[in-house]
Amino acid sequence: MAWVRALYAVLAVWALWAAGLVSAAEVVVLSSERSPSYTDASQATVAELVRLGVRRTEITQLYVPEVVAGDWAAAQGAKVWVTLGSDALARALQREGRPALVSALIPRLGFERLLRDSPTKSSAPALAVYLDQPFGRQLDLVRQVLPDARRIGVLWGPESVAQQANLQAAAQARGMDVVGGHVTAPGTLFAGLKTVLDEADVLLAVADPQVYNGTTISNILLATYRARVPVMAFSPAYVKAGALVALYSSPREIGVQAGALARGVLQGGPLPLSQYPLEFSVAVNEHVARSLGMVLDEASLNERLHRMEKRP
């Protein structure tokens, strides 16, 4: 029976501890799955922790589909957990008496929603490396790609609409206006899209599962292509599918930053703050650019955007 196997697993771990054969980990890295992206992020997190002085033997890597009761027993004594993805964060938040937690590979709104809806409350801190990019950085890229663009179109879904004020502030600081279309249900997607395409110079894709998903993305990109309104996306996969450009951070880059945050938690002192990715890349669809009469160079855009961020 499953509960019997789980009990034996816990007893086995306790027996090893008693024999001095297993020491409690300082850091547990919990991944939502074993896909290449999550594996890259997990390995990068571990490598950065080791580079910053944490012994490899004090770091445990776990994957949600494979976790058993004995794993949780072994993890409970850790000083910090690093969760990768929403499933891992949700599982960690369910654990009573959890330690400090660093979350990564999850957008800001998803992180905040899971914290808010967590069935258990803990006094231990939880912070994140957000997966999404700050609006200021996204609009700076728009200006690099489309210098004359002033009207930024956005499709707001039930979750992303909470970010309206943040985008409005970033746009206003750059002399831009936001043209919003609201997607309150699947049937309202193309009414909102038409509003945006009729008025905007560019469509800024803001991650929201109600708006951008495997069912909708092809039709959205086809409509924007026909309207000759370029799309700035949040994933290089969308660039391959037909978006003009994407601004994104790789799982490895996110993992390195999460490792640095976890090390900061271990060191004590002032608690690090949740933060957006420090490293990022730009992807360009050259075919779409040519169809719009544009010539864009990925390397040049990356260099210019990074240079802007380094200004004092």
pLDDT tops 90 at residue 20 = no
Average pLDDT over all residues of the chain: 90
> What is the spatial distance between Cα 312 and Cα 134, in angstroms, rounded to a whole number?
18
pLDDT tops 90 at residue 194 = yes
**pLDDT tens track for 109-154:** 999 999 999 888 788 999 999 999 999 999 999 999 999 999 999 9
Residue whose tokens read 């501890």 = 17
> What is the spatial distance between Cα 55 and Cα 26, in angstroms, rounded to a whole number?
9
pLDDT tops 90 at residue 77 = no
Q: What are phi and psi of 133, to 5 degrees?
A: -95, 150
Instruction: Report the CATH architecture of 135-248+280-309.
Output: 3-Layer(aba) Sandwich (3.40)
- Helices 135-145 and 298-309 pack at an angle, to 10 degrees, of 130
Amino acid at 250: S
Q: 293's torsion region: left (phi>0), alpha (psi -120 to 50) or beta?
A: left
- How much is the pLDDT for 18? 39
> What is the spatial distance between Cα 218 and Cα 178, in angstroms, rounded to a whole number?
24
Q: How far is CA 294 from CA 147, 171, 203, 280, in A?
A: 12, 23, 17, 23
What residues does CATH 3.40.50.2300 cover in the chain?
135-248+280-309
Stretch 187-197: mean pLDDT? 92
* Cβ contact 109:163 at 8 Å: yes
| Fold designation for 2-130 | Rossmann fold (3.40.50)
* Cβ contact 176:139 at 8 Å: yes
- How much is the pLDDT for 311? 61
- Global pTM value: 0.87
pLDDT tops 60 at residue 6 = no
Read off the pLDDT band of 67 (50, 70, 90): confident
pLDDT tops 60 at residue 13 = no
